[in-house]
Amino acid sequence: MHEETIGNVMITQDEILAKAGEIGKKITEEFKGEEIVLVGILRGAVLWMADIMKRIELDMTIDFMAVSSYGSATKSSGIVKINKDLDTDIEGKNVIIVEDIVDSGVTLNYLVGYFQSRGAKVIKICALLDKPEGRRVDIEVDYIGFTVDDRFIVGYGLDYDQKYRNLPYITYLEE
Ligand code: IMP
Ligand code: MG
């Protein structure tokens, strides 16, 4: 049984799907005539990745990475470790990183540096959620679904202790 309680629905699935349509259209226009590689960050980005990829009308491939940033259940420490690397050679490619949430920015900052070192031509970030109050490193997020305030968010891929990823909406943990 869950010991924590979750709050009200903050963002519905319909709102997320509409946003995926908008962002997918934007990416399609910006990369017209080019190929892209979408890199989903496991596991949180899985639902958002599925929504966004259907709405991009370009030649594309997909890949996934799994990273962990050490810390407590709700705060990251700043140290990033790769648990599953890319299977794709991204040298000279247009890469769009698909992430669930940008909080401190540490994970994405690390990933952008990593993709640069692997020779990516263009690196963009597409995040379902942005939590600007959590930011510790300066990072430019190119495509943002929704901005949230400084709460611990769960649902639609985002977990607390690996739970709640299956909720078909975005909510938060009650204090
Ligand atoms: P960072 O602090 O920007 O490096 O965030 C790294 C990761 O922490 C994200 O990819 C999420 O998996 C996780 N995370 C950050 N904030 C939340 C949250 O509010 N709920 C669930 N996971 C979060
Ligand atoms: Mg995550």
Q: What is the CA radius of gyration of the chain?
A: 16
Q: What is the pLDDT of residues 56-71, one digit of tens each?
A: 999 999 999 999 887 6
Q: Tell me, yes or no, if 103 is annotated catalytic.
A: yes
| Ligand 2 mean position, distance from CA 159 (Å) | 8
Distance, in Å, from the CA atom of 171 to the CA atom of 153, rounded to the nearest integer, reads 6
Q: Which ligand is nearest to the CA of 44?
A: 2
Distance, in Å, from the CA atom of 9 to the CA atom of 130, rounded to the nearest integer, reads 17
Distance, in Å, from the CA atom of 65 to the CA atom of 16, rounded to the nearest integer, reads 23
Distance, in Å, from the CA atom of 41 to the CA atom of 100, rounded to the nearest integer, reads 8
Distance, in Å, from the CA atom of 86 to the CA atom of 102, rounded to the nearest integer, reads 20
Best of 80, 103, 173 for a ligand 1 pocket test (most atoms within 8 Å of beta carbon) = 103
Q: Is 130 in the pocket of ligand 1 (CB under 6 A)?
A: no
Q: What is the pLDDT of residues 20-70, one digit of tens each?
A: 999 999 999 999 999 999 999 999 999 999 999 999 999 999 999 999 887
Mean pLDDT, all residues of the chain: 94
| Ligand 1 mean position, distance from CA 101 (Å) | 6
What pTM did the predictor assign?
0.94
More confident residue, 71 or 79: 79
Best of 100, 131, 170 for a ligand 1 pocket test (most atoms within 8 Å of beta carbon) = 100
Q: Read off the pLDDT of each residue in 90-99 and give the average, rounded to a whole number.
A: 98
Under 8 Å between Cβ of 86 and 65 = yes
Q: Is 125 in the pocket of ligand 1 (CB under 6 A)?
A: no
Which among 85, 103, 130, 142 is annotated as catalytic? Answer: 103
Q: Is 100 in the pocket of ligand 1 (CB under 6 A)?
A: yes
How does strand 122-130 pair with strand 94-102? parallel
Answer yes or no: is pLDDT of 78 > 90.
no
Q: What is the pLDDT of residues 118-151, one digit of tens each?
A: 999 999 999 999 999 999 999 999 999 999 999 9
Q: What is the distance, to the nearest Å, from the Cα of residue 27 to the centroid of all Cα atoms in its chain?
A: 15
| Ligand 2 mean position, distance from CA 27 (Å) | 23
| Ligand 1 mean position, distance from CA 129 (Å) | 10
Instruction: Using alpha carbons, select from 20, 41, 167 the residue that is nearest to residue 100.
Output: 41
